[in-house]
């Protein structure tokens, strides 16, 4: 895909997005989601399917929705609530410690600064960027496995890992698409452009996709 074709690509995906299931963290953000709820749902979502993330987040938030209330829940109870999210016991400990630290050091307010967020245990660039974009509406590019894979498959970037992809996109992707690129490509990757055997035969962006690394498709 040529760099100037990104505009057509985004326009097409915006229309296709209406047919697909919305990513779980985006649903949390849209449903009166505070930066704290976005942060917690992001942690739950790591290495976890979206339907599991959605239910696990809902169970936890039905009981507690603020750093103070979550900090008062024992880690083993948090683990029970978010099960069967991947690594749920580890995540429960992270959520408990993070909530307590927010209460003790930040006045129960999630910091709206990338570097500050990265200082929290269990918070990587993907999570921090999602909190910045979905939680605060600030500029950022969240690059997960879907964004990294699809951008390389398209031929829009040539990178080796998500961190490198984020760096290249920050210099190449028009700023108007920064916040929504993750939402669009996660939905695209989950519902159509699969890691293995993507649905290329009926793909609306097939004409501008270089199909880098695609060996088999449907």
Coil vs helix vs strand at 109: coil
Q: How many CB atoms lie within 10 A of CB 33?
A: 21
Q: CA–CA separation, 136 vs 19, rounded Å?
A: 26
Q: Is 80 exceeded by the pLDDT of residue 113?
A: yes
Mean pLDDT of 69-98: 98
Q: Return the pLDDT at 100.
A: 98
| Cβ partners under 8 Å of residue 107, min gap 6 | none
Q: CA–CA separation, 130 vs 100, rounded Å?
A: 21
* pLDDT single digits (tens) 150-190: 999 999 999 999 999 999 999 999 999 999 999 999 999 99
Residue 31 or residue 162, greater confidence: 162
Q: Return the pLDDT at 190.
A: 94
Q: CA–CA separation, 159 vs 87, rounded Å?
A: 28
Q: Is 90 exceeded by the pLDDT of residue 93?
A: yes
pLDDT category at 33 given cuts 50, 70, 90 is confident
**Which residue shows structure tokens 């976005």?**
38
In total, the chain counts a number of residues equal to: 218
- Which of the residue ranges 19-33, 53-67, 125-139, 179-193 would you say has the lowest mean pLDDT? 19-33
Q: Is 80 exceeded by the pLDDT of residue 32?
A: no
Mean pLDDT of 83-109: 98
Query: In this structure, what token pair is assigned to residue 198?
Result: 């993507």
Q: Which residues are catalytic?
A: 126, 144
Element (H, E) at 96: helix 88-106
Q: Yes or no: say if 200 and 217 are a contact pair by the CB < 8 Å rule.
A: yes
Could you give all domains of the chain from N- to C-terminal order, each with its CATH number? 3-20+140-208 (1.10.1670.10), 24-135 (1.10.340.30)
């Amino acid at each position: 895909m040529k760099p100037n074709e990104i505009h057509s690509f985004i326009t097409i995906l915006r229309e296709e997005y209406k047919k697909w299931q919305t990513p779980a963290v985006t649903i949390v953000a849209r449903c009166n989601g505070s930066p704290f709820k976005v942060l917690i749902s992001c942690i739950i979502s790591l290495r976890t399917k979206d339907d599991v993330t959605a239910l696990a987040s809902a169970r936890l938030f039905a009981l507690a929705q603020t750093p103070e209330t979550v900090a008062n829940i024992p880690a083993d109870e948090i683990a029970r609530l978010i099960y069967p999210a991947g690594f749920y016991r580890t995540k429960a400990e992270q959520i408990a410690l993070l909530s307590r630290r927010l209460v003790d050091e930040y006045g129960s307010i999630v910091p709206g600064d990338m570097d500050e967020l990265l200082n929290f245990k269990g918070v990587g660039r993907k999570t921090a960027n999602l909190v910045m974009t979905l939680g605060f509406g600030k500029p950022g590019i969240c690059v997960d496995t879907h964004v990294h894979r699809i951008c390389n498959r398209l031929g829009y970037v040539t990178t080796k890992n998500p961190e490198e992809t984020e760096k290249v996109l920050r210099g190449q992707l028009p700023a108007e698409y920064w916040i929504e690129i993750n939402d669009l490509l996660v939905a695209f990757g989950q519902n159509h452009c699969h890691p293995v055997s993507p649905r290329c035969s009926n793909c609306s962006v097939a004409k501008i996709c270089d199909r880098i690394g695609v060996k088999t498709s449907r």
